[in-house]
Amino acid sequence: MAFTFQINPDVQFNHESDLLEKAEANRPKLHKTLVKPTKVMINREDTTETSYKAIQVTQTVKELGESSFGKDDQITLDFGNHYVGHFAVSIQSVGSPMDAPLFLRIRFAEVLDELTRSAEAYNGWLSKSWMQEEFIHLDKLPARLELPRRYSCRYVEIKVIDTSRKWRVQFSDPTFVAQSSAEMAHLPATQIKDAQLNKIYQISVRTLHECMQEVFEDGPKRDRRLWLGDLHLAALSDYATFDQVTIVKRCLYLFGGLTSQDGRVPATVFTNGDPIPDDTFLFDYSIFFVSTLFDYYQHTKDKVMLHDLYRIAKQQIDLGLQYVDQEGCLKLPSKWPVFVDWSDEFDKTTCAQAILIYGLRQFIQLAEAVGEQDILSYQKQLHLLVHFSTQQLFDSKLGLFTSGAQKEVNLASQVWMVLAGVLARPASKALMVQAVKSLFPIRGIVTPYMYHFIVAALFKADHLDTATGLLKTYWGKMVTLGADTFWEAFDPNDLNYSPYGNALLDSYCHAWSCTPAFLITKYCL
Amino acid sequence: MAFTFQINPDVQFNHESDLLEKAEANRPKLHKTLVKPTKVMINREDTTETSYKAIQVTQTVKELGESSFGKDDQITLDFGNHYVGHFAVSIQSVGSPMDAPLFLRIRFAEVLDELTRSAEAYNGWLSKSWMQEEFIHLDKLPARLELPRRYSCRYVEIKVIDTSRKWRVQFSDPTFVAQSSAEMAHLPATQIKDAQLNKIYQISVRTLHECMQEVFEDGPKRDRRLWLGDLHLAALSDYATFDQVTIVKRCLYLFGGLTSQDGRVPATVFTNGDPIPDDTFLFDYSIFFVSTLFDYYQHTKDKVMLHDLYRIAKQQIDLGLQYVDQEGCLKLPSKWPVFVDWSDEFDKTTCAQAILIYGLRQFIQLAEAVGEQDILSYQKQLHLLVHFSTQQLFDSKLGLFTSGAQKEVNLASQVWMVLAGVLARPASKALMVQAVKSLFPIRGIVTPYMYHFIVAALFKADHLDTATGLLKTYWGKMVTLGADTFWEAFDPNDLNYSPYGNALLDSYCHAWSCTPAFLITKYCL
């Protein structure tokens, strides 16, 4: 997930210190690894979009140390994989004494394409402050330049803006201290015979690894914080791979400890310093607090955690049910919109209905686990919601669910109704036959996040081949395009798509894109 | 002085540790003062060269703290005078939680005009690294931003490149910790009745004060180091004002301890860290080592220092005399050029001849003071040089000295011949009558450095009114143009003149420009 544009500065938040203390007690340890570039690309003239790749010369790191650089020269260090952490390089001057400061621009890129885009020309609506670009003066050489900020990258580009006419610079021992709270040693040995699936699995694991910092960050490049939508999926992938549940506990306690005074779980929490809830609320994300707690409890049977957070889960359901009318139709207020996907091309009301059903079913199981007295009323609400969905939203002539006043038929609605278990298993299978027939090839879905739910629905509805095929064509296409980690947004029909109007600030390592590790483990092994 | 473009990487240097230890022992203490802006100029749209001044709003510092700023807003803090030191400001966010880093550009300017010039468009030949411009990301707010580098400025401009759409920033408590080794308490009470001369005196003292750091820096903005030409004049002004001789001792010992293996004093020494001699050699600057030692000894009668450095002074004279032919004509090799002024519009050979005579005269007095055995041979050389000058270089028909094979008549030659005392006093006076008649108004002299010598020659040749008048029109014009300190380069006939092809990197506080403090004290009180 990432930035959505809500401003609600008047919202007051609870800060439940007992829950926040448990969040702090579950802060995972960061493991650090020193990595070095695998190769260096030299570019002795200014970069332009068209010529960037054409005039590169490739060197080893050893050869780099023997070269010298002057005004407008630039080098690109390729660390060979995606890393999150801190960069350092040794710099010395050669020639006459250093009669001026050294002035450098250093950029960090997850994919090489970012280096072909000009920061000055950035016209998207995300803050320019997210650009991983620093301008640095060094008054004394030799020096070990150790940048204090954390970056997310495979490539580090160093441009010499100027030395002086009397001296040049040499760069040596470039290092990256990579960090993650995921421990590779925890990863189970996995035999995936299908080479393409194996590759997708490995990249998914890498994506998850990179996003596992002191919380599950949505993207370690940007926004570097905890979103509930990402947490929901990253936790599932974690259980299937590293199985480090401490970080999940920490994240759930953070959300639980920071609800708004009307009880809603915020969509995102800032964790750079003391945790701060954002004034952004998304209906589906609030419901996914229930789902994440449900998945966690299913995986761990941790009763303490369930008892600590059950109350918060119940609030989300109770608040959601307030907007269900007597017929069983969910009508959300504008202050609590549903996200589903970055695409705005489809109606999302039926998705919201299904997501409430999905969460309510999970909640009822949690309620049973804690011995809730009043389960019956929730079961009645569930029945009402399902009844409305099958009677009013399902178009039996089309064999598909419709959405909104215009009775729009879209893929996301079918997917979420399957995941919500609104239809019996054979009917779900038939629904997805019809969905594939009518609504494939997929159009207007732009995130691996929503693609995850499509694939999950296909698996759940017993379309194993179609599910595996979609997983291979969608995530596999990113692999073909050179992904080291999976991207925040990807529309195979529009490779230039960005949710932000300009791809320079897109995140190319995003938690919600790592779910093939979960899907493959659950369905393909 | 500043950068001249020589590259002599093969030159080997002596490092005389006894002299360098004495230099270190005389490192002056820096005195620090906290200063605050006197006013704040707000500009809520992007700066352009034409609109910059037009759309400013002026606030107090208190009002600043109550305003908030977003993308592309900028503020300019006016500290009311020129300062050298370190900047800090407190920054906090207002609005929704800080969901992205803060990205700022901070520029430091000695004169407001610098802020109207674009760094991207800089096309001069000095290193862009001298631009006092930083790009800063802050990941957490509130924060006290304390910039680690030293700046030279009156104005500090802060541009908000971006926050995000959800929050803005507030700036409060901007401070500048100003530093100098000059102590205002040392300044003698001076009564200068002429208001214009008084203003020029005060600005000269300020200029000197700002350049007095751990050495006399040429310009605290740029190059921030010790040049012999600046030392020569700054020391004279120091004796007339603060009279802090420790810093002069330190500078002389630094040059004395770092001669080239052939004995020449380098033109400049880097003092940012362990002292490093630059591989730049200027004949006049080497000779001015003798002059500076002479002036110091005249002022202090410090025999220890004289004995320590006499040998180095003698080397400069001996090396210079090697290039004097049997007729008494100095013919310099290309590796030891003469500087005189940044202007290249006039022939400098007669200046070089005069400067050698000037230095040789001073050297002979030093030789007498140390009891040199071989004074006679120096006196003979002096006689020969003077004889050649009066017989071959003086055009009795014109009443002026000529220079070079083309027998060019230029002002600098007359000035240096007067300062060298080649003519008797009445003849010097007549020479300057002729010079003023033929060569005024002055053209093609572009530095306060060379203007100093013109004014000094006029005073020496008993043209008190003309000297005072020139001092008032030249330095006074800078005052009229708003100078807080006197500038590195100034051509009253071409206000856009820069020695570097672009005025953005010109120094507007330059040691060699502070001599009115000396001239006024010596001749006008």
What does the CA dihedral B424, B426, B431, B433 come to, rounded to 10 degrees?
A: 160
Mean pLDDT (chain A) is 94
For residue A290, the tally of other CB atoms under 10 A from its CB is 29
Please give the class, per CATH, of domain B17-30+182-524.
mainly alpha
Asked if A129 and B165 come within 8 Å (Cβ–Cβ), the reply is no
Asked if B137 and A126 come within 8 Å (Cβ–Cβ), the reply is no
Which of A6, A166, A225, A271 is best to mutate for the B interface (most B CBs within 10 A)?
A166
pLDDT beyond 70 at A120: yes
pLDDT beyond 70 at B2: no
Which residue from B98, B101, B278 is facing A99, i.e. has the nearest CB? Answer: B278
| Eight-class DSSP state of B189 | P
Mean pLDDT for the stretch of residues A270-277: 95
pTM of the model: 0.95
Q: Which long-range contacts (CB under 8 A, 24 or more apart) does B404-411 make?
A: B404/B347, B404/B349, B404/B350, B406/B347, B408/B346, B408/B347, B409/B438, B409/B439, B410/B346, B410/B347, B410/B439, B410/B444, B411/B346, B411/B435, B411/B439, B411/B440, B411/B442, B411/B445, B411/B454
pLDDT beyond 70 at A359: yes
Q: pLDDT digits over B66-79, tens only?
A: 999 999 999 999 99
Annotated domain spans of chain B: 17-30+182-524, 32-180
Asked if B137 and A149 come within 8 Å (Cβ–Cβ), the reply is yes
A chain contacts of residue B68, beta-carbon cutoff 8 Å: none
Asked if B166 and A7 come within 8 Å (Cβ–Cβ), the reply is yes
pLDDT beyond 90 at A121: no
pLDDT beyond 80 at A203: yes
Q: pLDDT digits over A378-404, tens only?
A: 999 999 999 999 999 999 999 999 999
Q: pLDDT digits over B192-225, tens only?
A: 999 999 999 999 999 999 999 999 999 999 999 9
Asked if B129 and A163 come within 8 Å (Cβ–Cβ), the reply is yes
Q: Which residue of B has its CA nearest to A277?
A: B97
Q: pLDDT digits over A44-75, tens only?
A: 654 455 544 445 678 899 999 999 999 999 99
Asked if A96 and B278 come within 8 Å (Cβ–Cβ), the reply is yes
Q: How confident is the model at residue B4 (pLDDT cuts 50, 70, 90)?
A: low
ipTM: 0.94
A chain contacts of residue B107, beta-carbon cutoff 8 Å: none
Instruction: Judge contact between A12 and A262, C-beta under 8 A.
Output: no
Q: pLDDT digits over B238-270, tens only?
A: 999 999 999 999 999 999 999 999 999 999 999
Asked if B129 and A7 come within 8 Å (Cβ–Cβ), the reply is no
Give pLDDT, residue A501: 84
Mean pLDDT for the stretch of residues A187-197: 95
Mean pLDDT for the stretch of residues A453-461: 98
pLDDT beyond 80 at A338: yes
Q: pLDDT digits over B424-474, tens only?
A: 999 999 999 999 999 999 999 999 999 999 999 999 999 999 999 999 999
Give pLDDT, residue B119: 83
Nearest Cα to B419, choosing from B472, B365, B352?
B352
Instruction: Judge contact between B306 and B369, C-beta under 8 A.
Output: yes
CATH superfamily of B32-180: Galactose-binding domain-like (2.60.120.260)
Q: Which residue of B has its CA nearest to A273?
A: B140
Q: Above pLDDT 70, what percent of chain B? A: 97
Asked if A103 and B278 come within 8 Å (Cβ–Cβ), the reply is no
Q: Which of A191-200, B92-101, B119-128 has the lowest mean pLDDT?
A: B119-128
Q: Where are the alpha helices (DSSP H) in A346-447?
A: 349-370, 375-388, 411-419, 425-439
For residue A167, the tally of other CB atoms under 10 A from its CB is 22
Tell me the residues of A at the B interface, defined by beta carbons under 8 Å apart. 3, 5, 7-9, 71, 95-103, 125-131, 134-135, 137, 139-140, 149, 161-166, 222-223, 225, 270, 272-273, 276-279
Fold matches, A17-30+193-524 and A32-178? no
Q: Which amino acid is at A316?
A: Q
Q: Which residue of A has its CA nearest to B9?
A: A96
For domain A32-178, give its CATH number from 2.60.40.1760, 2.60.120.260, 3.10.450.50, 3.40.50.300. 2.60.120.260
CA distance B249 to B235: 10
Asked if B270 and A97 come within 8 Å (Cβ–Cβ), the reply is yes
Q: pLDDT digits over B341-381, tens only?
A: 988 889 999 999 999 999 999 999 999 999 999 999 999 99
Strand partners, A107: A133, A157
Q: Which position has the token pair 């200014």?
A: A46
Asked if A101 and B129 come within 8 Å (Cβ–Cβ), the reply is yes
Mean pLDDT for the stretch of residues A440-467: 97
pLDDT beyond 50 at B478: yes
Mean pLDDT (chain B) is 95
pLDDT beyond 60 at B54: no
B chain contacts of residue A223, beta-carbon cutoff 8 Å: 99-100
Give pLDDT, residue B124: 84
Please give the class, per CATH, of domain A17-30+193-524.
mainly alpha
Q: Above pLDDT 90, what percent of chain A? A: 89
Give pLDDT, residue B328: 98
Which residue from A5, A100, A101 is facing B165, i.e. has the nearest CB? Answer: A5
Asked if A95 and B9 come within 8 Å (Cβ–Cβ), the reply is yes
Which residue from B99, B128, B149 is facing A162, i.e. has the nearest CB? Answer: B128
Q: pLDDT digits over B492-521, tens only?
A: 999 988 888 888 899 999 999 999 999 999
| Cα A466 to chain centroid, rounded | 24
For residue A202, the tally of other CB atoms under 10 A from its CB is 15
CA distance A80 to A83: 9
Q: How confident is the model at residue A3 (pLDDT cuts 50, 70, 90)?
A: very low
Give pLDDT, residue A57: 78
Asked if B149 and A140 come within 8 Å (Cβ–Cβ), the reply is no
Please report the sign of the dihedral spanned by the C-alpha atoms of residue A486, residue A489, residue A493, residue A496.
negative
A chain contacts of residue B92, beta-carbon cutoff 8 Å: none
